[in-house]
Amino acid sequence: MNLDDIKACIPHREPFLWLDEIVSLEENGIHARKLVSPDSDFFQGHYPDNPILPGVFLCEAAMQASAVFIAKLGVETGDKVPVATRLNNTKFRRMVKPGETLDIHVNLKERLGAAYFFTGKIMVGDETAARLEFAVTATDK
């Protein structure tokens, strides 16, 4: 899936769209990619002499990938939007620098009604940048 396909699935838009492409979509998971642009404004303040991607953006990328996954399940969401409702056991293992590419792997662990429980792993090359467990729920706009 390309950027236009992603935008057709989720409400997120630039500058807060943290997916560039969907590499694969499987029955229980999704693999997405994002190039971390060196031109992103937040690098001016986080940190000027040693820019690193804020960890919360790694979590957001995984959650956006899960929203695409939910949309591609064919679940009728109507006027609902995906929102994060839980974040557990988050571990940041490696700093992400400007110009690096994130490989975002998200797997569905359980679904209870409109709540979806996922695990996520964000990689840079062969190295794990972050691991997390989270829930996303389709809620009214």
- Active-site choice (12, 31, 46, 105): 46
| Neighbouring C-beta atoms of residue 136, cutoff 10 Å | 24
H-run or E-run covering 68? helix 55-72
N-terminal to C-terminal alpha carbon distance within the chain:
25
Q: Please give the DSSP secondary-structure letter assigned to residue 74.
A: T
Cα–Cα distance between 25 and 139 in angstroms, integer? 23
Q: Confirm whether 12 is a catalytic residue.
A: no
| Longest CA span, the chain | 47
Question: Exposed e or buried b for every residue in 97-125, given b needs 16+ CB within 10 A?
Answer: eeebebbbbbbbeeeeeeebbbbbbbbbe
Catalytic positions: 46
